[in-house]
Structure 1
Amino acid sequence: MSTSTPTPQDAGLPAPPSRPPPPQNATPTQINSASDVGIKPTVVHLGDDIRWNHDLYAELNRQFHVERSYSMGREEFKTALRERRWGDFVGMYRPFWNTGGEMGNWDDELISLLPKSCKIYASAGAGFDWVDTKTMAEKGIIYCNSATSCTESVVDLALIHLLSTYRALPWSFLAARSGSPSQFHAANQNIAASTHNPNNSILGIVGLGRIGTRLAWKAATAFEMRVWYHDIAPFPDREKQIPGGAKFCSTLEELLRSTDCVVLCTPFHGEVLLSEKEFAMFKEGSRLVNIARGKLVDETALVKALDEGRIAAAGLDVHADEPNVNPELAKRLNVLVTSHTAGASVESHVGFERLGMENLLGWLKSGKQGTVSAVNLQWLMEE
C-alpha cells in the first residue's frame, strides 16, 4: 500500500467543507470530536474493541471518524439506522465473527435501511452466506470478507478430518476416553481391519480456491495423495502449484464416482450440493469431509449413505442447523464432528482484524481498486 495519505476524494466522496486544522499535537480524541466529523468520512465499527492491530487502528482513526455500535440486537440496530444514529457513514467494519453480528442476517430488510452514503462493508470470516452480497452490490456497497486470513487454520483442520475418515479417529478417541477396558480392547483389536493409509489414494476437492489449493498442496506433499478437483472452470496455474499436478473434472458426477475422499471447499449459494442423488454417485466406501458450509449437505441423505456403506466415514466441521448437530451423525463412531472451528486460531483473528482495516483504507485511497478481498464486484452498481 502506498504511503501517501488517502483522502475522501480518492474514494469518490464529495470534498469536505473547509475547516481549520486540528491543533498541533492534538490527541486522537480531540481530532475525532463531533466538531471534526465533517472533515473525515465516518465508519461504523460493529462489535468489540480491536485486540491486536493497534497501530493500524490508530491509522484508521486518523483517516476516518469511527463510530461504535458495540453489540445490539436486530430491532435496536434497525432503529439506530432509521434514526441515523451514526449519520451518513460510508463504511462498516466488523473485526470478529463472534461479535458485531447480533442483528442477524444482512438481507434486504437491513440493507435498505443503510444510508446512500454507505459504500463498503469490511467483515471478518471467510463465509458470507449470511449476507446478501448481490443486493449490497446493487445498492453500490462493496462487501469484503477475510478468507485469506484463515486459510492455514481451515486447511489444517481439514487435514485432521481427512485423516480421521481414513484412520477411524472418533472410534479410537471415544473408546480411550470412555475409561472402559472393553471399549479400549474392542478399538485396539478391530480398528486395523477397517482403516487405511491415505497415500496414493485420490483426493477430490470441490472448489479449488485458496483453501482448496492449499489443501491440495499439503495433502499431496505430506500424504502423497493424487488430486482431482471440480470447479466452474479449470485453473491451470493452480494445478501447477500442486505436487504431481491436479486433474480437472468438468462435472461433479465425474469427481464423485472416481475419488476416494471428497472435501467440500466451496461457498454456499443457497442450494444443497450433495443430496440423495449425488450420494448415489459416490464411489462405494468413499469418504466425505465438509469444512465449507453445513447447508451444502443434505444430512438425512448422508445418514442413509453411511447406513448403506456408500460413505465409509465422514468429517464435519460445519452443520446444516448450527448450533444444533444432527444426533444421527454425532453418535456415529465413523463420523468426526467439530464445532465450526476450522478457522478458529489466534493467527486467523489477527488477520481478520487487520484485513478489514486494510480494505477500508485501500478503498479510501483508490476506491474499489484499493480493496483487497471484495467478493461482489461483479454485481457492483456505481453512480
Structure 2
Amino acid sequence: MAGTASSHRYFTQDITPNITTISKPTDSVKLKPTILHLGDDIRWNHDLYAELSQKFNIIRTYSTGREDCKRALQDRTWGDFVGMYRPFWNTGGEMGNWDAELIPLLPKSCKVFASAGAGFDWVDTKALAERGIVYCNSASACTESVADAAIFLILAVYRLFSWSCQAAHSCDPERFRDAMSNIAAVTHNPNHSTLGIVGLGRIGYRIAQKAKAFEMRVVYYDVVRMEEREKEVDAVYCETLEELLGKSDCVLLATPFNGDVLLSQREFGRFKKGARLVNIGRGKLVDEAALDKALDDGTVGAAGLDVHADEPHVNKRLAARKNVIMLSHTAGASVESHIGFEKLGMENLLGWLEKGEAGLVSPVNLHWLNRDV
C-alpha cells in the first residue's frame, strides 16, 4: 500500500519470501533499542514516525505469513527487539493470532506490543503479560467512529431500516410497496425507551452521551461500577447482566470478547419481549443460532450487527431477515480512526521508552503483568 517508508531501514532482504533480516548495524544503531514494525508503511503521522526512527532501530516484517514469522522468531532473524508496532488493524496480522504457539518464541527482550484497533481477541493478552509484555490497544482512536455506527444501528433496529433498504435495493415494486405500506405498523421511535449498554468503557460511554440526544434512558452493566461516568450521562447501574436484560428495550454490546459467549438461549430468555440487540463488540459474544431462534419467536424484535461470529463468513439465516441489519465489521473504520491508530501506537512506544510503564497511554493487561521475567 502507498506510504512513506522510514529512512532508517537497518535490514537486507533474505532469499526467503517475506522475511527481513538485520544487516550489520552501525555503532549508532547499536545504541538504539529495536522495535518490530508489523505490516504496511505508515500513511499519515510521518513526523512522529521520524521521531520514532530516531529513538528506535525499526525492523519491518511487511506481509510475513505465520510459518515465516515462526521461523524468523526461532532463528532470531529480527534480533532482540524490545517492542512490536502494528499501525493498522487490517495489516500486520498475516501471521495470524498471537497465541501459545507464537508468544513463547518472542525474545525475552520484548516488553511492549502497541497495536491498532479496540478489540484484542486475536492476541492472548494474559499470556503476553505472563511473559512480561504489556499489550496496548488503540480503542480511544476509533471511539467516535464506533459510537456513530452504534447510533446508526440503534436507529436502524427501532425503525427497521434494514427492511426498507432491502426492499428499495431489490428494485422490486411489490417489495417497495410492501415496506412503504407496512413498516410503520411495527416500528418505533427510540426516544423515552431504555438503552442497556454492556460495557461502559470509552466507547460505551460515548454511545451513552450520543443516545441522550435521542432522549433515551440509559442503564449499564460492567464488571466495575463507574460512578463518575454514570453521573455524567445520568445512567443507572445494574448489578448483573440479567438485571440489565430485563430492563432494556435495546441491548447494546460494547465489551471485549474474553473467551466466553455473553448472550445465548438462557440470556435471550431474559430479554423483554421484542427488545432489540445491537452488537459493536465482537461477534463471538453472541450465540448466533440462539439469536436466530429468538428472532423466530419474537423474543428479539430486531438486531443490528457490525460483528459476526465467523468473520468474514456471515450467518446466512440472519442475513436473510428483514429485521436484521448488518455491517462488515466497519464500525470503527474511518480515516480519522486510522490516523489515531497509527499515532497512538507510536505514542505508547515513545512513552514507554521515556518513562516505562508510566509512559504508556493505553495498556490493557498491566493487572496480569509479570515483572520478574
**Counterpart for residue 166 of structure 2:** 174
**What is the one-letter code of the residue matched to 2:347?**
E
Pairing 1:100-119 to 2, within 5 Å after superposition? 100-119=92-111
**What is the one-letter code of the residue matched to 1:161?**
L
2:52 matches 1:60: yes
Stretches of structure 2 lacking an aligned partner (at least 5 in a row):
1-5, 12-23
- Cα distance, 1:126 vs. partner? 0.4
Separation in 1 of the partners of 2:304 and 2:9? 53
CA RMSD of aligned residues (A): 1.4
2:146 matches 1:154: yes
| The 10-residue stretch of structure 1 (224-233 or 29-38) with the greater mean CA deviation from structure 2 | 29-38
Pairing 1:115-264 to 2, within 5 Å after superposition? 115-221=107-213, 223-242=214-233, 245-264=234-253
Count of residues in correspondence between the two structures = 354
Separation in 2 of the partners of 1:351 and 1:38? 30
| The 10-residue stretch of structure 1 (327-336 or 175-184) with the greater mean CA deviation from structure 2 | 175-184
Separation in 1 of the partners of 2:276 and 2:29? 56
**Counterpart for residue 294 of structure 2:** 305
**Of the two, which has the highest radius of gyration?**
1
Q: What TM-score does the superposition give when structure 1 sets the normalisation length?
A: 0.91
- Shift in CA distance, 68/31, structure 1 to aligned 2, threshold 3 Å: closer
- The one-character-per-residue Cα deviations of 1:215-236 (angstroms, maximum 9, x if unpaired) are 0110012x10000001113211
**Counterpart for residue 280 of structure 1:** 269
Q: Is the 8 A contact 1:202 1:228 kept in 2?
A: yes
Secondary structure at the residue paired with 2:237? strand
Q: Is the 8 A contact 2:8 2:53 kept in 1?
A: no
Secondary structure at the residue paired with 1:187? helix
Pairing 1:70-109 to 2, within 5 Å after superposition? 70-109=62-101
**Counterpart for residue 348 of structure 1:** 337
Q: Percent identity?
A: 66
Q: Is the 8 A contact 1:165 1:334 kept in 2?
A: yes
Runs of 4+ that moved beyond 4 A: 27-33
Secondary structure at the residue paired with 1:34? coil
**Counterpart for residue 16 of structure 2:** none
Q: What TM-score does the superposition give when structure 2 sets the normalisation length?
A: 0.93
- Shift in CA distance, 65/332, structure 1 to aligned 2, threshold 3 Å: same
Secondary structure at the residue paired with 1:256? helix
Separation in 2 of the partners of 1:215 and 1:28? 41
Secondary structure at the residue paired with 1:37? helix
| The 10-residue stretch of structure 1 (134-143 or 28-37) with the greater mean CA deviation from structure 2 | 28-37
Q: Is the 8 A contact 2:8 2:58 kept in 1?
A: no
- Shift in CA distance, 253/69, structure 1 to aligned 2, threshold 3 Å: same
Q: Is the 8 A contact 2:10 2:58 kept in 1?
A: no
Secondary structure at the residue paired with 1:108? coil
**Counterpart for residue 266 of structure 1:** 255
**What is the one-letter code of the residue matched to 2:218?**
V
Stretches of structure 1 lacking an aligned partner (at least 5 in a row):
1-26
**Counterpart for residue 360 of structure 2:** 371
- The one-character-per-residue Cα deviations of 1:73-130 (angstroms, maximum 9, x if unpaired) are 1000000111111111100000011111111110121110011100000000000011
**What is the one-letter code of the residue matched to 1:270?**
G
- Cα distance, 1:179 vs. partner? 1.2
